[in-house]
Structure 1
Amino acid sequence: MRRIGWVVLALLLLGGSWAGYQGWRMWWKPNVAPSAEGPAYLFIRTGATFREVLDTLARQELLQDTATFRWLAVRRGYPLQVRPGRYLLTSELGNRQLLDMLQNGHQDTLVFELNAFKYKPQLARQISRQLEADSTSLRLLLADNAFLQRTYQLDTTTILTLFLPGSYRLVWNTSAHQFLDTAAAMHRRFWTPRRQQQADSLGLTPVQVHVLASIVQRETSKKEDKPVIAGVYLNRMRRGMRLQADPTLLWAIGNFGVKRVLNKDKLVDSPYNTYKHKGLPPGPITSANRQSLDAVLKPAAHRYLFFCARPDHSGFSDFAETFGQHKQNARRYQHMLDSLRILR
Structure 2
Amino acid sequence: MYIKKILWAVALLGLFIFGIFAYYIYGAMFKPNTAFNNNVAYIYIPTEAKYNEVRSHLEPLLKDINSFDALAKQKKYTTNIKSGKFAINKGMNNNDIINSIRIGKGLEVTTSFNNQNSLEALAGRISIQIEADSTSLLQSMEDELFLKSNGFTNASALGMYLPNSYKFYWNTTAEQFRDKMLYEYKRFWNESRRAKAKALNLSPNEVITLASIVHEESKKKEEQPRVAGVYINRLRIGMPLQADPTLKFAAYQLPKYKTTVIRRVLNVHKEIDSPYNTYKNLGLPPGLIAMPDLSAVNAVLNAEKHNYLYFAADAKRIGYHKFAKTLAQHNNNAREYQRYLSSQGINK
TM-score tier by shorter-chain length is over 0.9
Q: Which residue of 1 aligns with 2:281?
A: 277
CA contact (8 A) 2:140 2:178 kept: no
Distance of aligned partners of 1:235 and 1:267 in 2 relative to their CA distance in 1, 3 Å threshold: same
Q: Which residue of 2 aligns with 1:240?
A: 238
Q: 2:161 aligns with which of 137, 160, 163?
A: 163
1:8 is displaced (CA, Å) by 7.5
CA contact (8 A) 2:82 2:105 kept: no
1:224 is displaced (CA, Å) by 1.3
- Determine whether 1:343 maps to 2:341: no
Amino acid at match of 2:69: R
1:115 is displaced (CA, Å) by 1.8
Q: Which residue of 2 aligns with 1:93?
A: 92
Superposed, which structure 2 residues align to 1:311-330 within 5 Å? 311-330=315-334
Q: Which residue of 2 aligns with 1:50?
A: 51
Larger mean Cα displacement after TM superposition, 63-72 or 297-306: 63-72
Superposed, which structure 2 residues align to 1:63-212 within 5 Å? 63-150=62-149, 152-212=150-210
CA contact (8 A) 1:144 1:156 kept: no
Tell me, in whole angstroms, the C-alpha distance in 1 between the residues paired with 2:221 and 2:153: 30
Q: Which residue of 2 aligns with 1:251?
A: 249
1:199 is displaced (CA, Å) by 0.8
Q: Which residue of 1 aligns with 2:213?
A: 215
Q: Which residue of 1 aligns with 2:255?
A: none
Amino acid at match of 1:195: R
CA contact (8 A) 1:271 1:281 kept: yes
Amino acid at match of 1:181: D
Unaligned 5+ residue runs, structure 2?
A: 253-257
Tell me, in whole angstroms, the C-alpha distance in 1 between the residues paired with 2:186 and 2:32: 45
**Per-residue Cα deviation, 1:319-338 (whole angstroms, up to 9, x for no partner):** 00011000000011111101
- TM-score, normalization: structure 2? 0.91
CA contact (8 A) 1:141 1:148 kept: no
Number of aligned residue pairs:
340
CA contact (8 A) 1:43 1:86 kept: yes
1:117 is displaced (CA, Å) by 1.1
SS at match of 1:110: strand
1:288 is displaced (CA, Å) by 2.0
Tell me, in whole angstroms, the C-alpha distance in 1 between the residues paired with 2:336 and 2:193: 38
**Per-residue Cα deviation, 1:199-226 (whole angstroms, up to 9, x for no partner):** 1111111111110111111111111110
1:123 is displaced (CA, Å) by 0.6
Tell me, in whole angstroms, the C-alpha distance in 1 between the residues paired with 2:105 and 2:94: 15
Distance of aligned partners of 1:206 and 1:82 in 2 relative to their CA distance in 1, 3 Å threshold: same
Q: 2:27 aligns with which of 17, 22, 25?
A: 25
Superposed, which structure 2 residues align to 1:3-14 within 5 Å? none
Tell me, in whole angstroms, the C-alpha distance in 2 between the residues paired with 1:17 and 1:80: 30
Tell me, in whole angstroms, the C-alpha distance in 1 between the residues paired with 2:141 and 2:178: 9
SS at match of 1:130: coil
Amino acid at match of 1:327: N
CA contact (8 A) 1:112 1:169 kept: yes
Tell me, in whole angstroms, the C-alpha distance in 1 between the residues paired with 2:234 and 2:95: 67
For the aligned residues, what is the CA RMSD?
A: 2.1
Tell me, in whole angstroms, the C-alpha distance in 1 between the residues paired with 2:217 and 2:186: 26
**Per-residue Cα deviation, 1:93-125 (whole angstroms, up to 9, x for no partner):** 221122112222351211111122111211111
SS at match of 2:102: helix
SS at match of 2:202: coil
1:18 is displaced (CA, Å) by 4.6
Amino acid at match of 1:203: N
Unaligned 5+ residue runs, structure 1?
A: none
Tell me, in whole angstroms, the C-alpha distance in 2 between the residues paired with 1:83 and 1:343: 58
Tell me, in whole angstroms, the C-alpha distance in 2 between the residues paired with 1:278 and 1:238: 11
1:185 is displaced (CA, Å) by 1.7
Tell me, in whole angstroms, the C-alpha distance in 2 between the residues paired with 1:247 and 1:39: 47
1:173 is displaced (CA, Å) by 1.3
CA contact (8 A) 2:109 2:168 kept: yes
Give percent identity, aligned residues only: 39
CA contact (8 A) 2:109 2:167 kept: yes
- Determine whether 1:304 maps to 2:305: no
Tell me, in whole angstroms, the C-alpha distance in 2 between the residues paired with 1:280 and 1:93: 59
Q: Which residue of 2 aligns with 1:34?
A: 36
CA contact (8 A) 1:32 1:91 kept: yes
**Per-residue Cα deviation, 1:303-342 (whole angstroms, up to 9, x for no partner):** 0000011002431110000110000000111111011101
CA contact (8 A) 1:114 1:168 kept: no
